[in-house]
């Protein structure tokens, strides 16, 4: 009998919701959010706090505007890192990971079909346009302008890092373990040249000099010179002992060697000696290029670009993005930088891979928002349940007994109204550690007051009803009258307040998290906005701002729509809301 009465009390609110179209929409949305919270691990496309990386064939173009030099990101060339590039007489070639080869002609880039799969580290164009490419596992191949490939077998599967044409039929190849090979392209024959050092250092670059000799550079500042007359290698002493990553010599004899820790070695002409020059930054430089006039460029990790005017000092030039640059290609009209190892995908706009984009640490924002619904709903419903439990009981007791009991309880409510919410939460966090419990406690402590007032005012009128008087005459106890007779009649109002306070609690939790007072190491919508504000990147990354706030608004709106239908069931004259 008693249970069925409570059941009947709950039926009316449910029927009110189902009868109101707006409330139905609100209910559907709320259920969707709840499903999102329950299935967050399944719905997330990434681990919410994992740093996401990616890779691309980055392409940067130098531009001069308003007297300012800037290297701007162009649309990338595919998704594989580009390791080396060369240009000659209108033809440009760039090579990279997984045997990728891009061709630049007539101002356009196009990808070539290749039979190669190994990572390519070196490329050099012959005078007739034929191009030799080389890379990991002893991969060496020749591309001819009729778009055909010819591969060559190497004695060992070593990394080949540099190529230089000696003449139309002979090429130098340098690589790991001080390997120096001379390839005869007509016969496919490979001759190993003996290094005078013999300590197994990697060789990273090779360039033909104007007198027919060749320079080879590598790790530990290793520099070798090839005598064109007897094909012997001699050790050369260069300033410094950093790893040398690349060498380029222009037709005029001007030369540039770049290496680790901002190493820059410059030779002004064929007769000059190599000079170490000061770099504006000490990061690793991967590639360099110098023109006949001595205009020089160097690129390296994290988008670093150095430039030097002929005879001038090296300058750090701004570039758009922090890509790892590994190659340079200079044409008659353009300067290109290419590269990108794997890099942190920070502040990426929404895309097919990351639907809501990424934040300043490369974390997926869609997954964060999905997980954020868990805390929002947890605090929302737990907080609301606690609030209504306290408020309804206080109001019930105060309204029923009146007199001194009512005075004490309602004065307590008055005191609570004097306490501002957010500052009180701040004080609580100051005194106790931030945690989910403190958040729920803060939300509950300061919102039950409204419920208490509303329930009390309704109980005041209900207690005078005939059915209550009849129960009292029949000898029922105060407890029985309060909870079995009066309480079912205030249930509609309780449901209404429950719905309203869910929305209030969700906003309150978001507010606390936004102020940095939420549970540490948790993911919440307010916390996402807190991180956005702290990083300062929210002013550009609009995708960081929009989703959490929209989700909060949609969730709270759906709860409000439900509460509006419940309002008709509750006393129509009671309009007070938070």
Partner 1 sequence: MSSRRSYLIRRVLHGFMALFIIATLLFFLFRLGLPDPTAALITEGLNPEERERIRASFGLDRPIWEQYFIYLANIVQGDFGYSFHYRAPVADIIWERLGNTMILMLPAIVLAYGVGAPLGAWLSWRRGSRADTSGIFVGLMFRSAPMFWTGMIAILIFGIGLGWLPTSGMRTLPYDASGFLDKIFTLDFLHHLILPALVVALYYLGSPLLIMRNTMLEVYGEDFIEMARAKGLPERRILYAHAARNALLPVVTQLAVTIGLAAGGQVVVEVVFSWPGLGREILNSVRTSDFPLAQASFLVMAAFVITLNLLVDILYTMLDPRVSFK
Residue closer to partner 1 by CB (options 107, 418) is 418
R_g over Cα of the chain: 37
Nearest distance from C-beta of residue 537 to partner 1, angstroms: 12
The SS3 assignment for 272 reads coil
Backbone angles phi, psi at 300, to 5 degrees: -155, -155
Residue closer to partner 1 by CB (options 122, 512) is 512
Using alpha carbons, list the distances in angstroms from residue 402 to 390, 396, 406, 413, 472. Answer: 18, 10, 5, 15, 16
Question: What torsion, rounded to 10 degrees, do the Cα atoms 336, 338, 343, 345 define?
Answer: 50
Answer for which of 95, 454, 510, 566 binds partner 1 (CB under 8 A) is: 510
Residue closer to partner 1 by CB (options 345, 450) is 450
CB 183 within 8 A of CB 198: no
Spatial distance between the Cα atoms of 217 and 174, rounded to a whole number of angstroms: 9
Residue closer to partner 1 by CB (options 316, 427) is 427
When asked if residue 381 is in the footprint of partner 1 (CB under 8 A), the reply is no
Number of residues interacting with partner 1: please give it, by CB under 8 A: 49
CB 350 within 8 A of CB 45: no
CB 368 within 8 A of CB 528: yes
Residue closer to partner 1 by CB (options 327, 529) is 529
Spatial distance between the Cα atoms of 279 and 257, rounded to a whole number of angstroms: 12
Residue closer to partner 1 by CB (options 431, 473) is 431
* β-pair type (244-249, 233-235): unpaired
Nearest distance from C-beta of residue 256 to partner 1, angstroms: 42
Answer for which of 3, 237, 404, 575 binds partner 1 (CB under 8 A) is: 575
Question: Minimal CA–CA distance to 277: which of 298, 289, 263?
Answer: 263
**Residue written as tokens 């002409």?**
269
Answer for which of 174, 507, 566, 570 binds partner 1 (CB under 8 A) is: 507
Residue closer to partner 1 by CB (options 474, 576) is 576
Residues 408-427: x where in contact with partner 1 by CB under 8 A, - otherwise, as a string: ---x--xx-xxxxxxxx-xx
Residues 433-472: x where in contact with partner 1 by CB under 8 A, - otherwise, as a string: -----------------x----------------------
When asked if residue 432 is in the footprint of partner 1 (CB under 8 A), the reply is yes
Interacting stretch for partner 1, rule CB under 8 A, among 295-303, 358-366, 380-388, 569-577?
Answer: 569-577
Nearest distance from C-beta of residue 64 to partner 1, angstroms: 27
Question: Minimal CA–CA distance to 376: which of 530, 566, 515, 548?
Answer: 548
Question: Minimal CA–CA distance to 235: which of 243, 244, 227?
Answer: 227
When asked if residue 29 is in the footprint of partner 1 (CB under 8 A), the reply is no
When asked if residue 261 is in the footprint of partner 1 (CB under 8 A), the reply is no
CB 143 within 8 A of CB 151: no
Nearest distance from C-beta of residue 554 to partner 1, angstroms: 8
When asked if residue 483 is in the footprint of partner 1 (CB under 8 A), the reply is no
CB 312 within 8 A of CB 280: no
Nearest distance from C-beta of residue 317 to partner 1, angstroms: 27
Q: Sheet containing 233-235: which strands, arranged edge to edge? A: 203-208, 214-218, 223-226, 233-235
Residues 533-562: x where in contact with partner 1 by CB under 8 A, - otherwise, as a string: x----xx--x--xx-xx--xxxxxx--xx-
Q: How many residues comprise the chain? A: 578
Residues 484-503: x where in contact with partner 1 by CB under 8 A, - otherwise, as a string: -------------------x
User: What does the binding site for partner 1 look like in residue numbers (CB under 8 A)?
Assistant: 411, 414-415, 417-424, 426-427, 429-432, 450, 503, 507, 510-511, 514-515, 526, 529, 532-533, 538-539, 542, 545-546, 548-549, 552-557, 560-561, 572-573, 575-578
């Amino acid at each position: 009998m008693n249970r069925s009465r409570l059941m009947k009390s709950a039926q009316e609110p449910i029927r009110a919701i189902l009868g109101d179209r707006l409330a139905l929409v609100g209910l559907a949305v709320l259920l969707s959010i709840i499903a999102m919270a329950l299935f967050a691990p399944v719905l997330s496309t990434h681990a919410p706090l994992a740093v996401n990386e990616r890779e691309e064939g980055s392409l940067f173009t130098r531009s001069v505007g308003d007297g300012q030099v800037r290297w701007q990101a162009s649309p990338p060339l595919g998704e594989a890192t580009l390791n080396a590039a060369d240009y000659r007489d209108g033809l440009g070639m760039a090579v990279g990971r997984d045997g990728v080869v891009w061709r630049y002609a007539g101002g356009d880039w196009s990808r070539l079909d290749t039979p190669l799969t190994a990572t390519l580290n070196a490329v050099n164009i012959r005078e007739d346009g034929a191009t030799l490419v080389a890379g990991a596992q002893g991969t060496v191949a020749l591309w001819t302008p009729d778009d055909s490939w010819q591969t060559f077998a190497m004695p060992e599967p070593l990394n080949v890092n540099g190529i230089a044409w000696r003449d139309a039929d002979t090429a130098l190849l340098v690589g790991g373990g001080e390997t120096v090979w001379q390839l005869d392209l007509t016969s496919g024959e490979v001759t190993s040249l003996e290094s005078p050092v013999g300590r197994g250092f990697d060789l990273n670059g090779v360039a033909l000099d104007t007198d027919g000799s060749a320079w080879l550079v590598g790790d530990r500042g290793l520099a070798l010179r090839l005598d064109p007359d007897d094909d012997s290698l001699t050790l050369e002493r260069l300033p410094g002992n950093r790893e040398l990553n690349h060498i380029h010599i222009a037709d005029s004899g001007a030369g540039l060697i770049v290496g680790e820790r901002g190493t820059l070695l410059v030779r002004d002409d064929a007769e000059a000696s190599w000079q170490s020059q000061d770099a504006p930054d000490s990061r690793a430089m991967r590639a360099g290029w110098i023109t006949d006039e001595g205009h020089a460029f160097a690129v390296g990790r994290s988008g670093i670009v150095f430039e030097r005017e002929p005879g001038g000092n090296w300058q750090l030039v701004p570039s758009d993005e922090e890509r790892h640059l590994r190659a340079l290609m200079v044409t008659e009209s353009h300067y290109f930088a290419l590269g990108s190892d794997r890099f942190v995908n920070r502040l990426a706009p929404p895309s097919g891979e990351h639907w809501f984009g990424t934040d300043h640490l490369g974390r997926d924002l869609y997954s964060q928002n999905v997980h954020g619904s868990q805390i929002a709903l947890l605090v929302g419903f737990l907080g609301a349940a606690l609030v209504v439990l306290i408020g309804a009981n206080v109001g019930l007791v105060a309204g029923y007994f009146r007199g001194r009991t009512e005075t004490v309880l309602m004065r307590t409510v008055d005191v609570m109204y004097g306490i501002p919410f957010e500052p009180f939460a701040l004080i609580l966090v100051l005194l106790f550690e931030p945690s989910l419990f403190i958040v729920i406690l803060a939300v509950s402590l300061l919102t039950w007051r409204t419920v208490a007032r509303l329930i009390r005012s309704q109980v005041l009128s209900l207690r005078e009803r005939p059915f209550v008087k009849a129960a009292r005459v029949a000898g029922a106890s105060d407890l029985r009258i309060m909870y079995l007779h009066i309480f079912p009649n205030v249930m509609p109002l309780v449901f209404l307040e429950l719905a309203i306070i869910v929305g209030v609690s969700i906003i309150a939790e978001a507010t606390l998290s936004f102020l940095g007072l939420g549970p540490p190491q948790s993911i919440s919508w307010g916390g996402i906005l807190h991180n956005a504000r702290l990083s300062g990147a929210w002013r550009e990354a609009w995708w960081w701002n929009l989703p959490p706030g929209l989700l909060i608004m949609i969730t709270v709106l759906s709860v409000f729509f439900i509460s509006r239908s419940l309002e008709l069931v509750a006393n129509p004259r009671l309009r007070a809301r938070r």
